[in-house]
Structure 1
């Protein structure tokens, strides 16, 4: 690893550490994701192979963090290190929002910034979906920002899954709770619509500067969603009461979504409502979202 000079540790995940580093030959800043590979007769773990292959497939989009190279290093006792070398970005959306909340003068994100970021996120998600990939863990922490260029990119495809037809039963231990779609919480089969629910939650958070649905358990998460959007019925979501984890929930009427995002105009509220539709079959797709009137004042040619 003489090729890279480690500068600082910037993250710790389930599968390894992430370091800010410099390519010693070019001076380029990179992010090194270090994976400890266990000894296995089967070779590299499937989860790692999956992430690498997905990243290679998706890296040709401006709105997906680019995988620059993969370095495989034997160390000792049959153990190996695998370094994934990514482009380095300044910050993530969570830190970016938090930076605007610092006293003594907390500020909202400018509406044109929210609009631009949301369009780019939808573009990245549409790219994933058109290549048959679910992200499954979209959240502000996994959206990296080049502040100078105003570009936001999707990162951390460690939970990404290629989807196929017919849809398989995927694991339900996916998506950080606040951004988890109700079909996942209720134990249903799921597909690309889970990512769009997460995008809706992120959209609302950029406007509100705080999490939209802040639950501390799966049950509480559902109750918080139901209190705002109304308890789902068979009319709005056919089959909902037959889902594996459905219970007898309190019956709430839907509230006015605009009250939850008071600084968002009518077009924005309409787009948000389409991202937070209960029935996954009716939820707006990333591609269709990009054509929504909310983006009519955006210069799409810059993207």
Structure 2
């Protein structure tokens, strides 16, 4: 099916798919909606998954459905979803669309868990606000890690214990030491509470990343 026909079918349906990367003009739909409410819906869906021992592992705009009559967002496409155990057992790192992939996956961490989904949600959150992918740019592992570290700051043993061995194994030690940017310059459309939530979603150390449950209780959602 050609691209324009595919988009027409989506808009004629009661369900819309957010596809920010399909066409630039498609972005205007997102700005006509309440992305604060959509983020909450997304977190509710992922909280339900995580509470039942399921990792989505492929969160991206294309896998989110919106009912245009109720403005309700639903998480879709569980083709890469997996159950997880506690303690966490090794899972394949070859999951999640590249620019929404958490740094622990990019660096080949032997285990991962629910924080990988929260990183993806953070990327989508920033994309909804900015109208373009947060870490868009040249493809490839080192270029993507460089963009992440340039934005969030290059990790150290103090900020992410154990990261040194991962950096060496992926030759990412060649990336310069970047200080973290002020998120006010990265997502200027977000107020303080929104930036605080985004920052907690995008902690490089997955053990410090906010959970879906705690994110739902964040002050960013106090008025909805």
User: Unaligned 5+ residue runs, structure 2?
Assistant: 4-8
List, as ranges, runs of 4+ consecutive aligned residues in structure 1 with deviation greater than 2 Å. 95-101, 244-247
Do the aligned residues in 2 keep the contact of 1:178 with 1:214 (CA within 8 Å)? yes
Question: For residue 164 of structure 1, what is the aligned residue in structure 2?
Answer: 85
Structure with greater strand share of residues:
1
Residue correspondences, number:
211
Residue 92 (str. 1) matches residue 14 (str. 2): no
SS of the counterpart of 2:189? coil
Rounded to whole Å, the distance in 2 between the matches of 1:10 and 1:129 is 36
> In 1, distance between residues paired with 2:196 and 2:125?
12
Q: 1:153 aligns with which of 49, 74, 93?
A: 74
- Provide TM-score, normalisation by structure 1: 0.65
Could you tell me how far 1:166 is from its partner in structure 2?
2.4
Query: Do structure 1's residue 279 and structure 2's residue 199 form an aligned pair?
Result: no
Displacement after TM superposition at 1:217 (Å): 1.2
Single out whichever of 243-252 and 224-233 deviates more from structure 2: 243-252
- Alpha-carbon distance in structure 2 between the residues aligned to 1:154 and 1:179: 15
Partner of 1:209: 131
| Aligned partner (choices 45, 48, 54) of residue 124 of structure 1 | 45
Q: Deviations along 1:278-298, whole A, 9 cap, x unmatched?
A: 111110000100010000111
Structure 1 runs not aligned, ≥5 long: 1-8, 12-19, 21-87, 299-303
RMSD of aligned Cα (Å) = 2.4
Contact residue 139 and residue 176 of structure 1 kept, 8 A: yes
Check if 1:199 corresponds to 2:124: no
Instruction: Name the structure with the higher helix share.
Output: 2
Structure 1 residue 90: Cα displacement = 2.1
Q: Map Cα deviations across residues 174-218 of structure 1 (whole Å, 9 max, x no partner).
A: 111110000000001210000000000000000000000114112
Distance verdict in 2 for CA 1:149–1:182, change over 3 Å: same
The TM-score, its normalising length taken from structure 2, stands at 0.87
